[in-house]
Structure 1
Amino acid sequence: MELPSEVTAVAAQQHGVLGLDQAVAAGLTQRRIGWLVRSGRWQRVHARVYATTTGPLSFHALVWAAILRAGRGAVASHQTAAYLDGLCDDPGPLVHLTVPADRHLRSRIDGVRVHYAHRLARTRHPSRVPPRTRTEETVLDLIDATRRPQDVDTWVTSACQRRRTTPERLADALALRKKIRWRPMLESMLSDVAEGAQSPLELRHLRAVERAHALPRGHRQRRVAGRRVVWVDVDYDQYLLRVELDGRVGHVGEGRFRDRRRDNRATAHGRATLRYGHADVFGDPCGVAAEQGRVLQDRGWTGVPRPCGIDCPTLVIINRWRRRGVASG
């Protein structure tokens, strides 16, 4: 006996998956559904959720099954939504869902991680299927969940380089969030003044790296004339060292090659270049200070980096490097 056309149509829209309520509304009885499962024509994916095919399910089918099992208001989010929108190439081992905060799922769903949000009515995409969070919200959710500053850089860069969103749209979405991890770093990355002399990234380097660790004061935004005028973010001219503070969001394509040519020219004239991004300066300023201090010492600076606090590892890192240098020598 053929299935009602409405059942076939709903299943086709949901990659071969439908919920019990959908199947009954489309004309099937629960007894018929039970027979389809027992006979092997259908398979049970979750409680009250079925696949109208046998064999392994596609990723989209697994997402649909999880959403149907979670019920009202559930949408794909986090890495699942990122994969659906092309922000990453790995969906991860779990399906991530977000449901309205006024609901709480009583039972666990196998293979599914459930998140809760009060703002879901605003952050869900109005039309994409399977239902999911908006691209900008997906990026912010992933950033809020990570404990590594490098991941902030990775998610923002990936979203912008793959042309799924823009720094401006991310900044607008960020402004609507009251609480989010890594806000200062994220605001710096998305700042429209990222190339200015008073950029948040440069100020962070000045305060948390250079000044906090008593490093020599560099010349910021130095104009260097030649065949083409270039700008150096931080120039330690006395020690032939340059520090470039580049957020990768603004340094792709031609900008990346321009930076490489600038660094190569500096190296040809005996200058060294250290390059740091937001994840370095905001996430590990002490590590940056240790590396920068060691290079400055190697190039003639007679000072010693000063720990910025009780737990600052700057001197420990430098001493470890120097012991390794002696051992290898």
Structure 2
Amino acid sequence: MSSGLTESEIGWKLRTGRWQRPMRGVLVTHSGPVTDIQMMWAALASIGPGAVLGGASAASLDRLRGFDRGPLVVLVDAARHVAPRRGVIIRRSRYLGSDDVHPRRLPPRTRLPRSVVDMANWAATEDDARAALAAAVQQRLVTVAELRGVVEGRRPLRRHRLITDTLSDLDDGAHSVAEMLYRTIEKRFDLPAGQRQKQIDAGGRRYLDVWYEPWRVWVEIDGGYHREASHWWGDLARQNAGVLQDRLILRFPVHVLRTSPALVAEQVTAALRQRGWHPDL
């Protein structure tokens, strides 16, 4: 054996727990917990030459926050047939050239724009797909132009239309799934386009989620069900300041944007009409 140990000696170390075999053909020569990065290297070594990390597994190494849970994702050339590995999703791709795989970063992985587009394309739901794209742009790790470049070179994508529409929304300044859901409601129900993240002076610098300036109507979108007390009071203080400055305020949780868009549109329409908006003018 190249390790200097016989098969029986290696077997004894494995049976007694001194060593571990986290993946087929790979040994870890300690008895402690196998770290995430060790599992990544083990998966790549087990699958063999040309294998690279992809999707969320690659993106998390490149500092994308909020998507580091779930099984490892490994990409191999489309011509390869690889047996399943426990805890690993193996995907085949015809696009694993230098434009897609980073030439120097270790463990080997796809470039971040490619990783993010793959995350959106493989996501379990459309909201998850939008969230991956929005998070990468909002965290200032990639640009919309970089993501578009990947999409243009990767046709067809299963979610091509959704991804391109989401990138258009992000290019227009929507930086969260909630903002994109609301933008969809505006377009579907022929509402005027409100300003996003409008900065105002309301007892300090504040940003309004959606602001209809001509009618002084403010729409606030609540993203979380459980908020820290300081955040909760900050929201109330901002709303109180808005009321004192003659702003008409409507608040909607994200799930209502998704499940009851007609109700949201009805209430926003009523608020705008109350302040003088006429859709036909």
Fold conserved between structures, TM > 0.5: yes
2:87: which partner in 1?
A: 111
1:156-191 per-residue CA deviation (whole Å, 9 max, x = no partner) reads 343234443233322332332223312243222342
Q: Which residue matches 1:289?
A: 262
Residues 234 and 244 in structure 1, CA contact (< 8 A), matched pair in contact too: no
Q: What CA deviation, in whole Å up to 9, does each residue of 1:229-269 have, x standing for no partner?
A: x99754683xx634589xxxxxxxxxxxxx99997654331
Question: Alignment identity in percent?
Answer: 24
Q: Which has the larger radius of gyration?
A: 1
Structure 1 pair 220–78 and aligned structure 2 pair: CA distance change class (3 A): closer
Which of 82, 96, 114 is 2:73 aligned to? 96
Gaps of 5+ in 2: 175-179, 222-234, 275-281
Q: 1:42 to 1:187 in 2, by over 3 A?
A: same
Indicate the residue corresponding to 1:185 in structure 2. 165
Which residue is equivalent to 2:45?
A: 68
CA contact (8 A) 2:26 2:45 kept: yes
Q: Is the partner of 1:39 in helix, strand or coil? A: helix
Counterpart amino acid of residue 49 in structure 2: R
Structure 1 stretch displaced more, 266-275 or 96-105: 266-275
Give the distance between the partners of 1:98 and 1:143, measured in 2 at CA.
16
Q: CA RMSD in A?
A: 4.1
**C-alpha distance in 2, partners of 1:83/1:261?**
36
The count of residues paired between Structure 1 and Structure 2 equals 239
Equivalent AA in structure 1 for residue 109 of structure 2: R
Give the Cα separation in 1 of the matches to 2:112 and 2:236. Answer: 31
1:89 is displaced (CA, Å) by: 5.0
Aligned partner of residue 22 in structure 2, secondary structure? strand
1:258-310 CA deviation, whole Å, 9 max, x = no partner? Answer: x9999765433151245799x998xx4x7333223135458877xxxxxxxxx
Structure 1: state its 5+ residue gaps: 1-23, 212-216, 246-258, 302-329
Residues 134 and 293 (structure 1 numbering): CA distance in 2 closer, same or farther, change over 3 Å? same
C-alpha distance in 2, partners of 1:220/1:112? 44
Alignment partner of 1:241 out of 205, 217, 228: 217
Q: Distance in 2 between matches of 1:93 and 1:152?
A: 15
Aligned residue in 1 for 2:187: 207
How many Å separate the matches in 2 of 1:297 and 1:161?
32
